[in-house]
Amino acid sequence: MSSDQGLLEAVHQFAIELEDLFSAVFGERGPSFDVERAPAPGSDGTTRFVIRPPSVEVQRGAPSSSIPLFIDGERALAMDVAYRCRWDHAQRYLAVDSATWSVRSVDVAEPLFRYEFVSRQGDLLPAAHLHVHAHRDELVYTLFRGGVGRPRSRGQAILTRKGLPRLSNIHFPLGGDRLRPCLEDVLQMLIEEFSIEHEAGLFSASNRAGPSGVGIR
């Protein structure tokens, strides 16, 4: 088996893990993931493969590969997930060259926030990092949209004058004991902080790490 063929099979297996994760979280709304060869090799000349959801037609816009997120039955947010993969230095194990997870409001191009990982970022910037794009009002509005969980509690707190929600109330995940964010952490944050619709029974004390263990690696 050629090195590229072995890499392609490993990347397809990773894509299946991602599909299993999103299916566990969102049920039938979970996306599929496509695998394609990166248009250009890495700086070392070796092959890269990209994993992302397929582009589909959406209302009032061009085809998009974003994953729709629903709050109270309405499409409220969109999530973009993409990985660029390669072999590790020993050509034995799959490694992530770069990854992006971003969340934005529907019909808005700029994300509210995005997590990024770049394996060869250099000495001046961290390999894994979080960018917060949104202004305070944009995120606070999103914090109120859900009718259950924390969004509901925030609304009740205002009515009873117990406090106003602040941007600092959002718990952006950084990976728990691993100090390394993973995709399950971000999905759990979206469920807890914004009440996005999801399958029942997720992220209990017994499976808080998530159903598949897929993360920035």
pLDDT at position 6 is: 93
**HSE-CB of 214 using CA atoms within 13 angstroms:** 24
Q: Are strands 49-52 and 74-87 parallel, antiparallel or unpaired?
A: antiparallel
Look up the domain containing 106 and give its range. Answer: 3-194
CA distance 143 to 112: 12
Question: What does the DSSP 8-state code read for residue 187?
Answer: H
In a domain, 217, yes or no: no
CA distance 154 to 147: 10
Measured from the Cβ of residue 14, the count of other Cβ atoms closer than 10 Å reads 21
CA distance 95 to 78: 26
pLDDT at position 213 is: 45
In a domain, 90, yes or no: yes
In a domain, 25, yes or no: yes
In a domain, 94, yes or no: yes
Note down pLDDT in tens along the chain; length 217 residues. Answer: 568 899 999 999 999 999 999 999 999 999 999 999 998 887 778 899 999 999 876 655 666 899 999 988 889 899 999 999 999 988 889 999 999 999 998 888 899 999 999 988 777 788 889 999 877 677 777 776 665 556 556 555 555 555 666 677 788 888 776 667 899 999 998 988 888 899 987 654 434 444 444 444 4
In a domain, 44, yes or no: yes
Q: Position 33: which residue type?
A: F
Measured from the Cβ of residue 125, the count of other Cβ atoms closer than 10 Å reads 9
In a domain, 177, yes or no: yes
**Ramachandran assignment for 161, one of left (phi > 0), alpha (psi -120 to 50 degrees), beta (any other):** left
Provide the whole-model pTM. 0.82
Cα 22 to Cα 16, 80, 115, 166, distances in angstroms: 10, 13, 17, 29
Question: What does the DSSP 8-state code read for residue 97?
Answer: E
